[in-house]
Amino acid sequence: MNPLERLTKNFERFPGIGPRQSRRFVQFLLAQQGAYRAALADDIKRLGANTFQCKKCFRWFAKSQQGSTLKGPNGKVEPCCPICCDSHRDQGLLCVVEKDADLDNVERSGFKGLYFVLGGTIPLAAEDPEAHVRAREFVKRVEEDASQKILKEVILGLSATTLGDHTRGFLQEKILPIAQALNFKITSLGRGLSTGSELEYADPDTIASALSSRH
């Protein structure tokens, strides 16, 4: 495989990108100046070193945005993202979303609570549903916040798609006993998000309306 084919194959692995778009990306890069390509390659190379995954919400963020640090379970100090470290946000509201892009979009709608990023959705016929998303980490986070009496409400902020609905049902079942024992609400996004719509592509006003009519 030559470098052109290799790059095309690599772009094809990106979410939502097919062979035709992948070839267009490569053509675009070929038409750019060498300095642009070098800077892009450099950004990709440094992505790991300059990026952290928040230990609380699991979103990715740039080192330069680091809010503060958290003490991990083994006493190790770990970076915490600016959202999780912001004490002015409503610590009692926890919105669980599928991916980082969804979090960014909910954030644009003006939501002032905290988040948890699941890292995907659960396939319909999954044998081990918990292997596909951070369901165990989510339950642990909910248990911790609820037992410290911080948690008032968990918002299941999943897309209005088949997989989003399926994942929402699974998570709800998992945390319902904790909600009953430790007294917090479980809600889902309300009207505004039409059936089939993904959170990532919904506009901020629609999300704000879905959040305010959550039930």
Which chain residues interact with Zn ion by CB under 5 A?
54, 56-57, 81, 84
CA angle 99, 154, 206 (to 5 degrees): 60
Residue number with CB closer to Zn ion (54 or 142): 54
- How far apart (Å, rounded) are the C-alpha atoms in residues 81 and 52? 8
* Pick 85 or 208: Cβ nearer Zn ion: 85
Give the nearest distance from C-beta 91 to Zn ion in angstroms.
Answer: 12
Shortest Cβ distance from residue 116 to Zn ion (Å)? 9
Contacts of residue 188, Cβ cutoff 8 Å, sequence gap at least 6: 155, 156, 158, 168, 214, 215
Smallest distance, Zn ion to C-beta of residue 160, A: 25
Least distance between Zn ion and beta carbon 188 (Å):
22
Q: Which residues, 6+ apart, have CB-to-CB distance to 198 below 8 Å?
A: 102, 159, 160, 161, 164
> Residue 66: phi, psi to the nearest 5?
-50, 130
Q: Which is nearer to Zn ion, 100 or 198 (CB)?
A: 100
Among residues 79 and 129, whose Cβ is nearest to Zn ion? 79
